[in-house]
A and B are shown apart, each in its own frame.
Chain A
Amino acid sequence: DTGVSQDPRHKITKRGQNVTFRCDPISEHNRLYWYRQTLGQGPEFLTYFQNEAQLEKSRLLSDRFSAERPKGSFSTLEIQRTEQGDSAMYLCASSFGPQDTQYFGPGTRLTVL
């Protein structure tokens, strides 16, 4: 199966620590998206990349969040100085282009104690 993969699947951290998540999209997919999903809610858009360029960031993405896609392949999402409100499922999706289906990974569930 060559779908979208995310690592780690679960992360438990203490408030104030930094965490980094990785997303490997489907190969040859140019677009990569990050979404956040809290319990009982639909996913909310955070940011997206077209190849290595980060084209848009949501207002939900505070200065503590940074995302990169250095070679237009995998992407990382880092959260600095984590807060309890950051606890959520972080989903990555990829697509061949903006008009194509977005395929989601299994997500990384973050718990901030």
Chain B
Amino acid sequence: QQQVKQSPQSLIVQKGGISIINCAYENTAFDYFPWYQQFPGKGPALLIAIRPDVSEKKEGRFTISFNKSAKQFSLHIMDSQPGDSATYFCAATSTNAGGTSYGKLTFGQGTILTVHP
């Protein structure tokens, strides 16, 4: 069962533009939502994460927007750079003991971002 749906599958933006990737989840037990960045031949690396008690979190050029009622969250990359070209994964997990998703990350399908110079 696909519990985290991610879109778009691929995204092309010009240098300096804004990249937006969207995710939707089904499991209401999820309470921690990280975004990972993956370069070819490397493992995923944590980029930024959010908990549902806030609607937005910003770290540098990266911002997560969270809509709990819609069960959706998105990643915004401001002033996109060619070095940002990578695959981005949203993920979700439950940090409450006893839940079936406790501690396990459920990933979206990924978005391949290409930033043209």
Contact = CB atoms under 8 A, between A and B. Distances in A.
B32 A42 contact: no
Interface of A: 4, 31, 33, 35, 40-45, 48, 56, 91, 93, 95, 98-99, 101-107
Contacts of B34: 101
Given A42-B91, A42-B110, A102 B43 contact: no
Given A103-B46, A104-B45, A107-B43, 4 more contacts: A33-B105, A44-B107, A95-B103, A98-B102
B30 interface: no
B108 A42 contact: yes
Interface in B69-117: 89, 91, 95, 97, 102-110
A33, A40, A98 — most chain B CB neighbours (10 Å): A98
B49 A99 contact: no
A98 B95 contact: yes
A56 B100 CA distance: 10
Contacts, number: 56
Interface string B38-76: 000111111001000000000000000000000000000
30 contacts: A4-B43, A33-B104, A33-B105, A40-B109, A41-B109, A41-B110, A42-B91, A42-B107, A45-B104, A45-B105, A45-B106, A56-B104, A91-B43, A91-B44, A93-B43, A93-B105, A95-B103, A98-B95, A98-B102, A98-B103, A99-B32, A99-B103, A101-B34, A101-B49, A103-B46, A104-B36, A104-B43, A105-B43, A106-B43, A107-B42
Contacts of B44: 43, 91, 104
B95 to A, nearest CB: 4
Nearest to B110: A42
Contacts of B102: 98
A95 B102 CA distance: 13
A8 B16 CA distance: 39
A101 B46 contact: yes
A107 B36 CA distance: 15
Contacts of B97: 98
Contacts of B104: 33, 45, 48, 56
